Amino acid sequence: MPTLTDGVLYGLGILVLDFLAWRFMGRRSRGARLALRALMFGLSSYVLFTHGMNPLREAPWPGEPVRHLLAQILEVVWWLQGARLLTVVLDRLVLPETWHKERLFQDVLGALVFLAAAVGAIAFVLQLPVRGLLATSGAVAVVLGLAIQSTLNDVFSGVVLNATQPFRIGDWITIGEVEGRVVESNWRATSLLNAQGNIVVIPNSAAARTNIVNANQPMHTHGVSMVLPVNPSIRPATVLQALAHAAASSPEVLAEPKPLISVKRATNDAIEYEIVCYVDTWTRKIAVRNDLYDLAHRHLLSRGVVLRPLSVAEPAGEPFDEKRRLLRNVLIFQTLDDAEIAELAAQLRLHEFDSGETIYSAAEEGGHELHILARGVARAVVPKEGSELELRRLAPGDSVGQSGILAGVRTGVVVRALTRATVFRLDKEALTPVLARRPEVAREMCRLLSVHHESEKMLLAPADSGEAGGGLLQWIRDGMRRFHELAL
């Protein structure tokens, strides 16, 4: 039996302490864990070499079976301890920082180190012929390779993906038809967190065989595309111009690279038009795409193009009336009936503006007219520090001048045409009867004015007015009563 003087029990005690300390030490204390590994390996080396148990040769007590077996175990464990310590050191000193989140390279490196340690233990401690073992293991490897062929395919595909790095942890990518954020990439699969909050695990072999689209590259330009089928009877030039104006109406769309509008495909049933534009961050892609569909609908409608199912023919009723259709799509007039819409349409006055011309400026005009954009794109700006700050962009159906038409108040907002634009004007006298009959129209105009006022205060910091939303609305209502002589 071994005694305390031969070091076997010392070695076993060190192994028990190593296991207990490693088991109960916090996972976050990486430096302390590494120091503990180095300390335990140093103690094991000291005990083995000072008590005749050299890990580079067989244990020296073949006549004492129990002592010999325990010494052999300690020597084999010494090789494994060294492999474990070397793996951590190489991971910290050799692998780049960007690879620390990738489990594949860590697993491969650890497997190679432990394989070398196992071969060393077999050759030096167990004194087995390594050549014969390697020959036997080669046949076993062939059998195992055939059995786990798909898994090996995933492993080597993962090596290629991690070496070429088409994506990184945290990137938003599309692999085939699956879209999501990369949360893990290991030796077998890549895990994505999709928009529904679910984890989708894609085998590396499947990812290597399909297209991979990385929405995070390049860093500051991310494409947004949408396809819109339109009735083939509509002239393509009309649709292309309307879609170009739709892209220009979104302030989130980058001016460079310029949006691309093209005919993608033409059939007997429809002509498909594609808008390709760019935003500066991938998180805005969904919101911009949704906004583009709405803007495309508005700009097409301003040109008399009504989007219907392609199997439904255009109704053969009254001819297209641009004024009535425009008023019907203005948010503040959506509660009016057909007779009231016709009454207002008869009093609209048409004005045309070229790109860059001023459509509305309360400082230059009386400010008692409502300006409704019928066609084109405009931008509302305010002067700030010697230049102009853009507040918002106007698309067909948007209006400006609510403060003047409601309470005779002038603002510093200036509206200029971004493209060639058509504008209809409606003066105070035309709106007063409608406001008297329909208080909800005045309330909607007040609400829109309040929304615009709050957005202006956020952009023009520090705000000059400390009024809350309710105080502003009440002030506008009071001014509206005096200006229109209404008893609301």
Per-residue pLDDT of the chain (488 residues; tens, 9 = 90+): 444 456 777 777 877 877 777 667 655 566 777 777 788 888 888 888 887 788 877 877 887 888 888 888 888 888 888 888 888 777 776 665 555 555 656 666 777 777 777 877 777 777 777 666 555 665 556 555 555 566 767 777 877 787 778 888 888 888 888 888 899 887 778 899 987 888 999 988 888 888 888 877 776 778 888 999 998 888 999 999 999 999 999 989 988 889 999 998 888 888 999 999 988 887 788 889 999 999 999 999 888 887 765 554 544 444 457 788 888 888 788 788 888 888 888 889 999 999 999 998 866 655 578 889 999 999 988 887 778 888 889 999 888 877 666 655 566 788 999 999 999 988 878 888 887 788 787 777 777 767 666 666 655 554 444 444 445 455 455 555 554 455 44
The domain 166-214: what is its CATH number? 2.30.30.60
DSSP label at 282?
G
Residue 290 confidence (pLDDT) = 92
> Which residue has 């429809």 as its token pair?
270
Q: CA–CA separation, 334 vs 349, rounded Å?
A: 20
Q: CA–CA separation, 59 vs 239, rounded Å?
A: 87
Token digits for 222?
A: 């991310």
SS3 70: helix
Residue 1 confidence (pLDDT) = 45
> Which residue has 């808008």 as its token pair?
275
Token digits for 318?
A: 């009254």
- CB-based contact 279:172 (threshold 8 Å): no
Q: CA–CA separation, 480 vs 113, rounded Å?
A: 82
Nearest to 17 by CA among 71, 99, 81: 81
Record the pTM: 0.57
- CB-based contact 421:443 (threshold 8 Å): no
Token digits for 466?
A: 């400390």
Token digits for 57?
A: 């040769």
Residues 6+ apart with CB under 8 A from 391: 380, 381, 382, 413, 452, 455, 456, 459
Q: Where are the domains of the chain?
A: 4-147, 166-214, 222-302, 333-484
Q: CA–CA separation, 126 vs 76, rounded Å?
A: 9
The residue type at 9: L
The domain 333-484: what is its CATH number? 2.60.120.10
H/E element, 455? helix 439-459
Nearest to 53 by CA among 128, 130, 129, 124: 124
Residue 469 confidence (pLDDT) = 45
H/E element, 38? helix 30-50
SS3 276: strand
- CATH class given for the domain over 222-302: alpha beta
Pairing of strands 271-279, 260-266: antiparallel
Query: What percent of the chain is helix, strand and coil (3-state, nearest 5)?
Result: 50, 20, 30
- CB-based contact 204:248 (threshold 8 Å): no
Q: CA–CA separation, 15 vs 48, rounded Å?
A: 12
SS3 96: coil
- CB-based contact 445:403 (threshold 8 Å): no
Residue 317 confidence (pLDDT) = 42
Residue 223 confidence (pLDDT) = 83
Extract long-range pairs of 95-100: CB within 8 Å, 24+ residues apart: 98/168, 99/162
Phi-psi region of 96 (alpha: psi -120 to 50; beta: other; left: phi over 0): beta
Residues 6+ apart with CB under 8 A from 390: 251, 379, 380, 381
Residue 147 confidence (pLDDT) = 52
Pairing of strands 172-175, 212-214: antiparallel
Give the distance, in angstroms, between the CA of residue 22 and the centroid of all CA atoms in the same chain.
Answer: 40
